[in-house]
Structure 1
Amino acid sequence: MIQKPRGTEDLFGDKAKQYLALELIIRNIAENFNFNEIKTPMFESSDLFKSNVGESTDIVTKEMYNFLDKKNRELTLRPEGTVPTVRAIIENKLYIQENLPLKLFYFSKMFRYERPQKGRMREFSQFGVEVFGPNSPELDSELISFCFMILNSIGLKNYKLNINYIVTNEERKKYIVELKKYLSSKKLCDDCATRINTNLLRVLDCKIDRHQFDDIIDMKDFLSEEDKKFYNELKRNIKNIGIEFIEDKKLVRGLDYYTGLVYEIVDQDGITIIGGGRYNNLVEKMANINLQASGFGVGMERLLISLDNQNISLFESYKLDAFLIALTDKAKALSNILLFMLRNSNLKVDLEYMNKNLKSAFKSAERYNPKSIIIIGDNEIKENVVIIKNQDTKKEEKVSFDKIVDYLKKG
């Protein structure tokens, strides 16, 4: 038997309901924050990601799903959402002044060839937010409050916010010199030994070596006065709205386009469920357009895991209002009319389709846990009635066709 690819999952039953409920909650919050939805293609030119995510990142060097189309063009299944969104706003000229600030969100499937484990799949879903225009600590405070509103709205507890501010421009060069000196005394993994000469900040994101860097020199000591002001205002803003945070001097995120503020929200089990920050140079790099930007991404599957670990359900299991059992061919012919009438009256109903005898049909009904069971046979058709059995009281009553809806709605 052919099975699903490794690192993917089938979503059904209560888990599918949980996912839908989570998405609806987030959509409502996005609307309250005045964001508009954007959808980009599931695959893009491979060069789009290679040039802009970072050629030495794990995503580009190890994890992208690349393929050639019939004209030998190299394409990639989308591994992250920010770069395609930037491509879309450039291509469609959404960056015009009248549109700013441009506030966008998306729900997208992402694909990364990683070793599958809990909370890390090869196909995964992400809710993403991107804002283009202002370089503003107030905006970043708003985005962090957006993250917290999502988590508070779903009832998640015991999570923490980690923040850092990545040094940029000339100050970054000075930091790099000191960082190289610091790392020269460390025994690093093979990947990090290469990163020292290609992309030094990636070393701080290493899962293998990160534990060695607790005493690492602090980027904040190298920030320009302007960046210090921005960072301090951001921290003051989120404190003022009651958001606590931890400053993590090793936090750089896994993508090269981040500049300045970066942050992650980690659940009680240490799983990163939200990550984001500012990427002020990405639009300019891609299209020579000076447009600052900031955003975050939510791992939907990881959030579902966190909800499950804390026994939080976002949906209420509902009962069918009625389950219909038709005993004869004439009754089956009438059942479609009854189903349409009841559903058209906003009642949740279903029908026994498997031609079972009455005893087996009642067992089928138990699987759906209906409030009532409706039985109809030839005798009932002659009398223009149905038999309705209330599953709570176990009482049966004959109810005329024109009274069924009222009877069921009264319960």
Structure 2
Amino acid sequence: MSINIPRGTKDILPGESERWQYIENKARDICRNYQYKEIRTPIFEHTELFQRGVGDTTDIVQKEMYTFEDRGGRSLTLRPEGTASTVRSYVENKMFGYPSQPVKLYYMGPMFRYERPQAGRFRQFVQFGVEALGSKDPAIDAEVISMAMEIYRELGLKSLKLVINSLGDKESRKAHREALIAHFQPRIGEFCHDCQSRLEKNPMRILDCKKDREHELMKTAPDITGYLNEESADYFAKVKQYLTAMDIEFIVDPNLVRGLDYYNHTAFEIMSSAEGFGAITTLCGGGRYNGLVEEIGGPETPGIGFAFSIERLLAALDAEGVAIQNEEGIDCYLAALGEKAGEYTVGLLHELRQAGISAERDYLGRKVKAQFKAADRLKAKYVAVLGDDELEANTITLKSMADGGQTEVPLDDFIETFRKIKG
């Protein structure tokens, strides 16, 4: 009986994994430019962290979490997203006391959600995210948004659309909440069970419902922009001003609410408008979450961040036909002819690698022609041919795979000679 991979997961094989590495390295380079440092948190956390941090009215907490009891009877959950874990670590390790503020962090790793698998959406997926904690300056909102846009553009995506909104502060959200309840309550029985349960707990989440998105009340629902107080409106105006100063185009969408309870003030999504990308166009989402640090037990600390799935990023690259360069190949392939020469190349290969030269040899006892084919598949820049006669004469033949030129090199000087050729 064969054992197959679990539904909603995916093996990333050699040839594909290099694309992932390229994206990961590009994201890390941009984080370095923006002074964001990597944080690595556990793959599982106490369930309460996500109930409090993500919000118990969200689909993630209600329907999608992988939760289990350990042998001590404690409820643990595989992390469904990265912000709550990052904020928990921020509080637990007292990063609010760091001399350098705000604290700028990024993370990259697997997340888990029990969703219906579809194109670009998996039950285990890799998420890259950024969090900036400790500043309520709208300029850092613009910085975080610009950083997300830069990652996509640096990777070659062009069919991008940035959508932003303001969810306001507590006072603004309270006024909007009351207006939403008054709007939906008379006909809430026409909506799905989830919307009915959200009416009192978090009516803004009704606007994010996928089942009832075409209901007529959705189109006439009061939007948050009409309930922003002066402080919230001024804050949003500053964010828009800074984005404009950065030459970042955006669209204001009053119905953008995001799917997590902790957002307030700035919320944003980056979408792909590439033909053939699919019905779910969102690539990246994020926003401000003032109040989340306090909810998890820390001091009053403003924060903002974003996250995106690398799987969906790869799908967008494919939709736009953007090719990611794979590995350039190895420096040298050792081709041996004869038993003694084959034995000698074991030590020689080790010396090459110790000298910082990427190299490989044959391990299957193939003929020289097959060894050259193997070198070609590995995109070797040079093939060094050593036979028993050459070993006796203390020489080795170095062949350039680019132009076919050959050079006979003394075996004792081979490593140093090759280092000079490689440059």
- TM-score interval (norm. to shorter): over 0.9
Equivalent residue number for residue 286 of structure 2: 276
Query: Which residues in structure 2 correspond to 1:298-377 (within 5 Å)?
Result: 298-377=308-387
Contact 1:321 1:408 in 2 (8 A): no
Over residues 354-383 of structure 1, what are the superposed CA-to-partner deviations in whole Å (9 max), with x where a residue is unaligned?
Answer: 012334334433422433333222211111
Deviation at 1:257, TM superposition (A): 0.8
Distance 2:397 2:298 in 1: 73
Whether 1:256 and 2:261 are equivalent positions in the alignment is: yes
Equivalent residue number for residue 306 of structure 2: 296
The partner residue of 2:251 within 246, 253, 257 is 246
Deviation at 1:345, TM superposition (A): 4.0
Over residues 294-321 of structure 1, what are the superposed CA-to-partner deviations in whole Å (9 max), with x where a residue is unaligned?
Answer: 1111222211221222232343542333
The residue type paired with residue 381 of structure 1 is: L
Query: Which residues in structure 2 correspond to 1:2-401 (within 5 Å)?
Result: 2-96=3-97, 98-183=99-184, 184-185=186-187, 187-212=190-215, 213-268=218-273, 269=277, 270-287=280-297, 289-394=299-404, 398-401=408-411
Change (3 A) 1:286 1:366: closer
Distance 1:112 1:267 in 2: 22
Q: Which moved more, 1:260-269 or 1:345-354?
A: 345-354
Partner SS state of residue 249, structure 1: coil
Partner SS state of residue 176, structure 2: helix
Distance 1:369 1:169 in 2: 59
The residue type paired with residue 254 of structure 1 is: G
TM-score of the superposed pair, with normalisation by structure 1: 0.93
Contact 2:113 2:124 in 1 (8 A): yes
Deviation at 1:286, TM superposition (A): 2.2
Change (3 A) 1:171 1:370: closer
Change (3 A) 1:320 1:112: same
Partner SS state of residue 239, structure 1: helix
Deviation at 1:210, TM superposition (A): 2.4
The residue type paired with residue 262 of structure 2 is: Y
Q: Which moved more, 1:284-293 or 1:230-239?
A: 284-293
TM-score of the superposed pair, with normalisation by structure 2: 0.90
Q: Which runs of 4+ in 1 moved over 6 A?
A: none
Partner SS state of residue 16, structure 2: helix
Distance 1:211 1:159 in 2: 25
Q: Which moved more, 1:72-81 or 1:385-394?
A: 385-394
The residue type paired with residue 50 of structure 1 is: Q
The residue type paired with residue 301 of structure 2 is: L
Partner SS state of residue 129, structure 1: strand
Deviation at 1:199, TM superposition (A): 2.3
Distance 1:134 1:317 in 2: 40
Query: RMSD in angstroms over aligned alpha carbons?
Result: 2.2
Structure 2 gaps of 5+ residues are none
Contact 1:119 1:271 in 2 (8 A): no
Deviation at 1:71, TM superposition (A): 1.0
Distance 1:407 1:142 in 2: 46
Partner SS state of residue 96, structure 2: coil
Q: Which moved more, 1:264-273 or 1:236-245?
A: 264-273
Percent identity, aligned pairs only?
39
